[in-house]
Structure 1
Amino acid sequence: MASSTAFTKVLVLFALVLIVLVPLASAVAPAPAPESDGTAIDQGIAYVLMFVALLLTYLIHPMDAFPFSLF
């Protein structure tokens, strides 16, 4: 009979520990904020497009300013 009450006490103690620890384990931290919200990507694309426009401007402008027709 003594072993049965000792087993019951251990079981109750284990149940109490689980009751206390399970809510702490299930409290998950919120997800971290995204590192990029897309504005950096948009800005990078804008810089590339501006560079392409500048390059095309400098390539096309000398053709308009050249006094002789090559083609």
Structure 2
Amino acid sequence: MNSSMRLQHATPVLVMLLLALLQLSHGQGLAPSSAPQGPTSDGNTIDQGIAFVLMMIALAVTYIFH
């Protein structure tokens, strides 16, 4: 398979990945609070987000080179 065919197949995957990342940036704003409440997220949530991004990158790379 030549490089132009790989690019044609990889483009939709990369576009969907970028669209998913753009959707993450449209999160909800913080509500005003009267007292400090400490940390709002734990390390588990951050770890899951990083794992999701790495899995999407691995999927895209696998799809490109397959």
TM-score in same-fold range (> 0.5) = no
Q: Which is bigger in relative contact order (C-alpha 8 A, separation at least 6)?
A: 2
Of the two, which has the highest radius of gyration?
1
TM-score of the aligned structures, taking structure 2 as reference length: 0.42
